[in-house]
Amino acid sequence: MNSLLTMNELQVREINEILKDAHSFAEGRQWAPGKKLFVANLFFEPSTRTKSSFEVAERRLGLDVIHFDAETSSVQKGETLYDTAKTLQSIGVGALVIRHEQDRYFDELKGKLNIPVINAGDGCGNHPTQSLLDLLTIQQEFGSLRRLKIAIIGDIRHSRVARSNADALSRLGAEVVFSGPKEWMDFSLESGSYENIDSAIKTADVVMLLRIQHERHSGDSSAPDGDYLSSFGMTKERERSMKPKAIIMHPAPVNRGMEIDSELVECDRSRIFKQMENGVFVRMAVLKRAFEKAEGGNIYEAHNQKWFVAN
Amino acid sequence: MNSLLTMNELQVREINEILKDAHSFAEGRQWAPGKKLFVANLFFEPSTRTKSSFEVAERRLGLDVIHFDAETSSVQKGETLYDTAKTLQSIGVGALVIRHEQDRYFDELKGKLNIPVINAGDGCGNHPTQSLLDLLTIQQEFGSLRRLKIAIIGDIRHSRVARSNADALSRLGAEVVFSGPKEWMDFSLESGSYENIDSAIKTADVVMLLRIQHERHSGDSSAPDGDYLSSFGMTKERERSMKPKAIIMHPAPVNRGMEIDSELVECDRSRIFKQMENGVFVRMAVLKRAFEKAEGGNIYEAHNQKWFVAN
Amino acid sequence: MNSLLTMNELQVREINEILKDAHSFAEGRQWAPGKKLFVANLFFEPSTRTKSSFEVAERRLGLDVIHFDAETSSVQKGETLYDTAKTLQSIGVGALVIRHEQDRYFDELKGKLNIPVINAGDGCGNHPTQSLLDLLTIQQEFGSLRRLKIAIIGDIRHSRVARSNADALSRLGAEVVFSGPKEWMDFSLESGSYENIDSAIKTADVVMLLRIQHERHSGDSSAPDGDYLSSFGMTKERERSMKPKAIIMHPAPVNRGMEIDSELVECDRSRIFKQMENGVFVRMAVLKRAFEKAEGGNIYEAHNQKWFVAN
Q: Mean pLDDT across the stretch A186-210?
A: 89
Name the average pLDDT for chain C.
88
Q: Mean pLDDT across the stretch B69-85?
A: 80
Distance from the Cα of A260 to chain B's closest Cα (Å) equals 14
Higher pLDDT, B55 or C123: B55
Q: Mean pLDDT across the stretch C295-301?
A: 37
Residues A220-271 have pLDDT tens digits of 555 565 699 999 999 999 999 999 999 999 999 999 999 999 999 999 999 9
Residues C250-293 have pLDDT tens digits of 999 999 999 999 999 999 999 999 999 999 999 999 999 999 86
Nearest-Cα residue of chain C relative to residue B61: C36
What's the confidence (pLDDT) of residue A143? 96
Contact assignment for C36 to B60 by CB distance below 8 Å:
yes
Q: Mean pLDDT across the stretch C22-37?
A: 94
- Judged against a pLDDT cut of 50, whether residue C298 lies above it is answered with no
Chains that touch A (3 or more CB pairs under 8 A): B, C
- The confidence band for C305, taking pLDDT boundaries of 50, 70 and 90, is very low
**Cβ neighbours for B227, distance < 8 A, ≥ 6 positions apart:** none
What's the confidence (pLDDT) of residue A191? 72
- The confidence band for C192, taking pLDDT boundaries of 50, 70 and 90, is confident
Q: Provide, as residue numbers in chain C, all residues whose Cβ is less than 8 Å from the Cβ of A90.
A: 273-274, 276-277
Total CB pairs under 8 A between chain B and C: 78
Residue C4 lies in a domain: no
Higher pLDDT, A117 or B157: A117
What's the confidence (pLDDT) of residue C150? 97
Nearest-Cα residue of chain C relative to residue B45: C72
- The confidence band for B310, taking pLDDT boundaries of 50, 70 and 90, is very low
Residues A71-112 have pLDDT tens digits of 766 676 678 999 999 999 999 999 999 999 999 999 999 999
Interface of B with A (CB under 8 A): 36, 38, 40, 64, 66-69, 71-80, 83-84, 86-88, 90-93
* Cα C153 from Cα C250, distance rounded (Å): 10
- The confidence band for A22, taking pLDDT boundaries of 50, 70 and 90, is very high
Is B127 annotated as ligand-binding? yes
C254 and C142 in a common domain:
yes
Residue C254 lies in a domain: yes
- Judged against a pLDDT cut of 60, whether residue B302 lies above it is answered with no
Among candidates C3, C271, C262, which has minimal Cα distance to C129? C3
DSSP class of C221: T
Is C160 annotated as ligand-binding? yes
Closest residue to A72, CB basis, from C46, C65, C265: C46
A167 and A238 in a common domain:
yes
Q: Provide, as residue numbers in chain C, all residues whose Cβ is less than 8 Å from the Cβ of B59.
A: 38, 64, 66
* Cα A34 from Cα C78, distance rounded (Å): 47
Contact assignment for C52 to A40 by CB distance below 8 Å:
yes
Which of the residue ranges A296-310, B105-119, B212-226, C30-44 would you say has the lowest mean pLDDT? A296-310
B150 and B262 in a common domain:
yes
A47 phi/psi in degrees, rounded to 5:
-170, 135
Domains identified in chain A, total number: 2
Residue B115 lies in a domain: yes
- The confidence band for A293, taking pLDDT boundaries of 50, 70 and 90, is low
Is C130 annotated as ligand-binding? yes
CATH number at residue A265: 3.40.50.1370
Closest residue to C279, CB basis, from A80, A88, A91: A91
Distance from the Cα of C73 to chain B's closest Cα (Å) equals 5
* Cα C128 from Cα B59, distance rounded (Å): 30
Distance from the Cα of C47 to chain A's closest Cα (Å) equals 5
Question: What ipTM goes with this model?
Answer: 0.89
C293 and C199 in a common domain:
no
Q: Mean pLDDT across the stretch A149-165?
A: 86
What's the confidence (pLDDT) of residue C234? 98
Among candidates A128, A161, A165, A132, which has minimal Cα distance to A5? A128
Chains that touch B (3 or more CB pairs under 8 A): A, C
Name the average pLDDT for chain A.
88
Mutation site, B51, B63, B71, B77, interface A, largest A CB count within 10 A = B77
Residues B192-234 have pLDDT tens digits of 789 999 999 999 999 999 998 766 565 555 556 568 999 999 9
Contact assignment for B87 to A273 by CB distance below 8 Å:
yes
Q: Provide, as residue numbers in chain B, all residues whose Cβ is less than 8 Å from the Cβ of C80.
A: 256
Contact assignment for A49 to B87 by CB distance below 8 Å:
yes
What's the confidence (pLDDT) of residue C301? 33
Coil/strand/helix, residue A280: helix
Nearest-Cα residue of chain C relative to residue A94: C56
Is B213 annotated as ligand-binding? no
Contact assignment for A78 to C52 by CB distance below 8 Å:
no
CA dihedral for C262, C266, C267, C273, sign (positive or negative): positive
C79 and C177 in a common domain:
no
- Judged against a pLDDT cut of 50, whether residue B265 lies above it is answered with yes
Residue C62 lies in a domain: yes
Closest residue to A73, CB basis, from C48, C252, C280: C48
Distance from the Cα of B34 to chain A's closest Cα (Å) equals 11
- Judged against a pLDDT cut of 50, whether residue A302 lies above it is answered with no
Percent of residues, chain A, with pLDDT higher than 70: 87
Is C50 annotated as ligand-binding? yes
* Cα C89 from Cα C300, distance rounded (Å): 10
- How far the first Cα of chain B sits from its last, in Å, is 30
Of B193-197, B249-253, B276-280, highest mean pLDDT: B276-280
Nearest-Cα residue of chain A relative to residue B39: A56
Is B77 annotated as ligand-binding? yes
Q: Provide, as residue numbers in chain B, all residues whose Cβ is less than 8 Å from the Cβ of C71.
A: 71
- Judged against a pLDDT cut of 50, whether residue B308 lies above it is answered with no
Closest residue to A279, CB basis, from B71, B74, B91: B91
C161 and C138 in a common domain:
yes
SS (H, E, C) chain B: CCCECCCCCCCHHHHHHHHHHHHHHHCCEEEECCCCCEEEEEECCCCCHHHHHHHHHHHHCCCEEECCCHHHCHHHHCCCHHHHHHHHHHCCCCEEEEEECCCCHHHHCCCCCCCCEEEEEECCCCCHHHHHHHHHHHHHHHCCCCCCEEEEECCCCCCHHHHHHHHHHHHCCCEEEEECCHHHCCCCCCCCEECCHHHHHHHCCEEEECCCCHHHCCCCCCCCCCCHHHHHCECHHHHHCCCCCCEEECCCCCCECCCECHHHCCCCCECHHHHHHHHHHHHHHHHHHHHHCCCCCCCCCCCCCEEEECC
- How far the first Cα of chain C sits from its last, in Å, is 30
What's the confidence (pLDDT) of residue A311? 34
Q: Provide, as residue numbers in chain B, all residues whose Cβ is less than 8 Å from the Cβ of A47.
A: 72-74
Name the average pLDDT for chain B.
88
Distance from the Cα of A121 to chain B's closest Cα (Å) equals 15
* Cα B35 from Cα C310, distance rounded (Å): 28
Q: Provide, as residue numbers in chain A, all residues whose Cβ is less than 8 Å from the Cβ of B83.
A: 252-254, 256, 265
Closest residue to C253, CB basis, from A66, A79, A91: A79
Contact assignment for C79 to B48 by CB distance below 8 Å:
yes
Closest residue to B91, CB basis, from A56, A253, A265: A56
- Judged against a pLDDT cut of 60, whether residue A159 lies above it is answered with yes
Total CB pairs under 8 A between chain A and C: 77
Higher pLDDT, C306 or A219: A219
Mutation site, A39, A74, A81, interface C, largest C CB count within 10 A = A74
Of A165-169, B24-28, C153-157, highest mean pLDDT: B24-28
* Cα C208 from Cα C242, distance rounded (Å): 13
Residue A18 lies in a domain: yes
- Judged against a pLDDT cut of 80, whether residue A141 lies above it is answered with yes
Closest residue to C91, CB basis, from B52, B69, B214: B52
DSSP class of A63: P
Distance from the Cα of B266 to chain C's closest Cα (Å) equals 11
Contact assignment for B87 to A280 by CB distance below 8 Å:
no
Residue C7 lies in a domain: no
Residue C179 lies in a domain: yes
A268 and A135 in a common domain:
yes
* Cα A257 from Cα C204, distance rounded (Å): 69
- Judged against a pLDDT cut of 70, whether residue B301 lies above it is answered with no
Residue A2 lies in a domain: no
Contact assignment for B91 to A53 by CB distance below 8 Å:
yes
Contact assignment for B48 to C75 by CB distance below 8 Å:
yes
- The confidence band for C162, taking pLDDT boundaries of 50, 70 and 90, is confident
What's the confidence (pLDDT) of residue C303? 37
Contact assignment for A90 to C276 by CB distance below 8 Å:
yes
Nearest-Cα residue of chain A relative to residue B71: A46
Distance from the Cα of B128 to chain A's closest Cα (Å) equals 27
Full domain range(s) for residue C243: 128-272
What's the confidence (pLDDT) of residue C302? 36
Is B253 annotated as ligand-binding? yes
A259 and A194 in a common domain:
yes
A142 and A23 in a common domain:
no
A140 and A62 in a common domain:
no
Q: Provide, as residue numbers in chain A, all residues whose Cβ is less than 8 Å from the Cβ of C55.
A: 66-67
C137 and C266 in a common domain:
yes
Closest residue to B77, CB basis, from A46, A53, A67: A46
- Judged against a pLDDT cut of 90, whether residue C225 lies above it is answered with no
Strand pairing report for B306-309 and B29-32: antiparallel
A285 and A252 in a common domain:
no
